[in-house]
Amino acid sequence: MATRSASALRHEALAHADALYRLAYHLAGSAADAEDLVQETFARALGAAERLPDDSNLKAWLFRILRNLHIDHYRKRRGAPLATPYDDETSAVEPELLRDDHELDRLRRVVAEDIERALAQLSPDARTVVLLDLDGFTESELSTVLGCPVGTIKSRLLRARTALRQYLREYAR
């Protein structure tokens, strides 16, 4: 069974850095913690590069490492006092202005904040499955990342989407 070289793994893994960061940010709640999670994910992946067969799903493997690291960090911090999930500095959304329209910019910020709050109300597993689904993971890949059957993934997605619809119902009007 052939394995990827550390150099090839590094190159392939960097293609997933943005998606890893997005999930890490939503799980950890801060930019600094998300950066730490992604950095530690890459460090662990590179340390185990020789054990990853060439035909394995690198993307799913990286996201599984990230999720497991988040769970480990959560367990370690369980006794520590809880910080607010998003402070003003890390939750500020800077969308690209469209035609320099300040009212549209303000509206985008309000909607983005509502979406952030709705995602934050989901359980970590529900939030993870929704964010990875949005990043284009297949149900099979989600099953690998989360370590549960595809049927469980389908039901988690359904429940999470239903909860998000409920939290964001005022936008459906």
Give ranges for CATH 1.10.10.10 in the chain.
Answer: 93-173
For residue 2, the model assigns a pLDDT of: 53
Rounded Cα gap, residues 145 and 111, in angstroms: 29
Q: Look at residue 113 and tell me whether its pLDDT is greater than 50.
A: yes
Q: Where are the alpha helices (DSSP H) in the chain?
A: 6-14, 17-28, 31-47, 58-77, 88-91, 102-121, 124-134, 139-146, 150-167
Tell me the pLDDT band of 1, cut-offs 50, 70 and 90.
very low
CATH of 93-173, picked from 3.20.20.210, 1.10.10.10, 1.20.210.10, 2.60.40.420, is 1.10.10.10
Rounded Cα gap, residues 68 and 66, in angstroms: 5
CATH of 1-85, picked from 1.10.1740.10, 2.40.40.20, 3.30.470.20, 2.60.40.10, is 1.10.1740.10
pLDDT tens-digit series, residues 13-44: 888 889 899 888 888 888 899 999 999 988 88
Token code pair at residue 91: 């939750």
Tell me the pLDDT band of 149, cut-offs 50, 70 and 90.
very high
Encoded amino acid at 30, one letter: S
pLDDT tens-digit series, residues 53-112: 777 888 888 888 888 888 887 777 766 554 544 444 444 444 444 445 666 666 677 777
